[in-house]
Each structure stands twice: as C-alpha cells, then as structure tokens.
C-alpha cells in the first residue's frame, strides 16, 4: 500500500500537458490517502476530495478539447468513460458530505485501478492523433 499513487514512468503517454495533469491527479489522490490514513477530520478529507473531483473534471475537459481539436474518431466512447467516472466520484462526494459514506482504502484502490487502466488503454490511444505532443 505504500506509494499507492506513486507515479511510474510506464504511466507516461508522451503528451506533455496530459502527463503533467495525470501526475497532479496522482499527487492529489495521494494527499487524499494521506489525510484518510492520518485520520484527518471530515472537513479536511472533504476538501481534498473536492479538489480531486474538480481537477479530474478539468483534466477530462482538457482531453476532450484535444480530441475535438484533432478530430479523434473515438471521442464519444472516451468521453463516456470520463462521464461514468466523474459521476461516480460526484456521487461519492455527495454521500461523503452528507455523512452517508466514508473514505476507504477500497475506494482509493478503485480510483487507482481506474486511472492506470484508463491511461494505459484509452488515453494512450489518443497519442497518434495528437499532432502537437507539447499540447
């Protein structure tokens, strides 16, 4: 469990902005895990969870803008994956805020698996279509 959200070179896809945002997502998720493991209060954990949710949504919007710009043929399917995850995180955030759900290692593990799987499967497929790799 140590380093659950540690960045690994194998997660890099070679598009500057996307790799940088993925690293921030991992860092933010790691902060969330630290706060949970430290037993920090609901307000502190909730604020990091909210930051993670907002950052995830802005990252997804960035990828969707790039996909649109470069006329990526599988934009709809990719966007649907983003929307499904964002909905799950939003729902969890609402339940967390209302006291109906607690932060758990299982949830963080789910998020980690989703991120790694999505990056290596779906995000990687964008690479041949993104002409400006420094985008």
- Give 63 or 130: the residue with its C-beta nearer to Fe ion: 63
What is the smallest separation between the CB atom of 77 and Fe ion, expressed in angstroms?
A: 11
What is the smallest separation between the CB atom of 92 and Fe ion, expressed in angstroms?
A: 19
DSSP 32-87: HHHHHHTT--HHHHHHHHHHHHHHHHHHHHHHHHHHHHTT-TTHHHHHHHHHHHHH
Do residues 60 and 88 lie in contact, with contact meaning Cβ atoms separated by under 8 Å?
no
| Residues making contact with Fe ion (CB under 5 A) | 63, 123
- Give 42 or 74: the residue with its C-beta nearer to Fe ion: 74
- Give 36 or 52: the residue with its C-beta nearer to Fe ion: 52
- Give 63 or 96: the residue with its C-beta nearer to Fe ion: 63
Residues 6+ away with beta carbon under 8 Å from 35: 44, 45, 48
Task: Report the length, in residues, of the chain.
Answer: 135
What is the smallest separation between the CB atom of 109 and Fe ion, expressed in angstroms?
A: 19
What is the smallest separation between the CB atom of 43 and Fe ion, expressed in angstroms?
A: 29
């Amino acid at each position: 469990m140590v380093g659950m959200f540690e960045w690994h070179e194998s997660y890099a896809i070679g598009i500057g902005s996307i790799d940088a945002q993925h690293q921030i997502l991992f860092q933010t998720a790691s902060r969330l895990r630290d706060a949970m493991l430290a037993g920090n209060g609901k307000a502190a954990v909730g604020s990091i969870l909210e930051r993670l949710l907002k950052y995830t949504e802005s990252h997804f919007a960035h990828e969707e803008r790039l996909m649109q710009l470069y006329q990526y043929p599988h934009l709809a399917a990719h966007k649907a994956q983003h929307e499904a995850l964002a909905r799950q995180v939003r729902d969890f955030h609402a339940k967390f805020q209302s006291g109906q759900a607690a932060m758990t290692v299982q949830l963080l593990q789910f998020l980690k698996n989703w991120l790694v799987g999505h990056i290596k499967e779906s995000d990687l497929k964008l690479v041949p279509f993104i002409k400006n790799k420094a985008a």
